[in-house]
Copies of this chain bind each other. A is one copy, B any other.
């Protein structure tokens, strides 16, 4: 669902990817990484959808939280597997969220 994030500024990691064919353990690891990310200091939320491309946006308190998550040993194993087996192509963008508008239909 749509992440409930605090008042900006905070950070977004926009991860856009094209998968290889077949699951090869991807779905299980993806779920595990979301659960692990949620436990990290500074994690604020995550949003994800996949059609021809996958887009996962995770939200973080600051750059330091993102750096620590990138260095998490279990996450590093998943990142290596990602390059070897799961992704044909990906782009990771680190962005500082400056403004945030919510709309909800009554």
A21 interface residue (CB < 8 Å to B): no
What class of interface size applies to chain A in its complex with B? 35 or more
A92 interface residue (CB < 8 Å to B): yes
Closest chain B residue, CB of each to CB of A12? B95
Please report the C-alpha to C-alpha distance between residue A103 and residue B80 in the assembled complex, in whole angstroms: 12
Q: When the two chains form the complex, which single residue of B3, B53, B88, B103 contacts A90, counting CB atoms closer than 8 Å?
A: B103
Interfacial chain B residues near A47, Cβ < 8 Å? 16, 53, 55
Question: Are A2 and B18 also in contact (CB < 8 A) when A94-B98, A99-B94, A103-B89 are?
Answer: yes
Instruction: Report, nearest first, the 10 A-B pairs whose CB atoms are least far apart.
Output: A95-B95, A49-B49, A94-B99, A95-B97, A49-B51, A55-B55, A92-B101, A89-B104, A49-B55, A96-B96
